[in-house]
Structure 1
């Protein structure tokens, strides 16, 4: 199962459209995860055209997105439990807030907010932040994530110039 992970799209503030590099990968996706800060409902509708869409709302999302997406959720994909949260809040790091958002065991925690790509483990749980496809901040490249979920997890970031 191929899962494409995005976060912090911030459309139309940081870009008018989703980048072509992401759209190419979406063509072959079994499902998509968006970890918040969509900023426009149009992003939801566009991603939905590519397949099953899971996501959460972020700190810059308005009521229109908050009505569509919860603040956090746990989904199952091909036998793997994935916790999704944006990761914003006060005190602590974004990663710490993401980990503390889930009381139950999950195999993967997908989060956003920082725009910084992360792939590491805390105990037996993978932490994955895809970065941003529209707002790389001080990083050299834009990024999104790709998970292949089978008997094992293959996770990677896709880095690209816009």
Structure 2
């Protein structure tokens, strides 16, 4: 199963639409996971035309998104439990807030956003993943998003690209 992992799309504030490099990967995706800061419901609707969409809201999302998706969510894929949260809040780092959101829960992977800083590493047995942003790289060298290939394991990859 191929899953495209996104966060911090911030559309239409940062860009007019989803970038071409991301659209390529969406073409054959089986699922899309979004870790918040969609900005508007239009992003959700656009992504639905490619695959099933699961996600959470972030700190800049409008009332329509907040009414549609939760603050945190657990999605099961091929027997793996994937926790999703945006990671915003007070105190601690974004990563620590994301990990604490699923404390005490049986989780194989935690996806978060907010910082726009890509992360792809294990802490113990848990994959900690932040896809960065495909539209607002901030202080990063490139835009980014993630792709998971899930079968008997999760193979996570960060996709980096320059604006086209």
**Structure-2-length-normalised TM-score:** 0.97
CA distance in 1, matches of 2:100, 2:122: 14
Give 1:108-123 correspondences, 5 Å limit.
108-123=109-124
Residues 10-159 of structure 1: pairs in structure 2 closer than 5 A? 10-102=10-102, 103-159=104-160
Distance 2:154 2:61 in 1: 30
Unpaired segments ≥5 residues, structure 1: none
- CA distance in 1 between counterparts of 2:63 and 2:154 reads 34
RMSD, aligned α-carbons: 0.7
Distance (whole Å) between structure 2 residues aligned to residue 67 and residue 143 of structure 1: 27
1:119: Cα distance to partner?
A: 0.8
The runs of 5 or more residues in structure 2 that have no matched partner are none
Aligned residue pair count: 162
The answer on 1:2 being equivalent to 2:7 is no
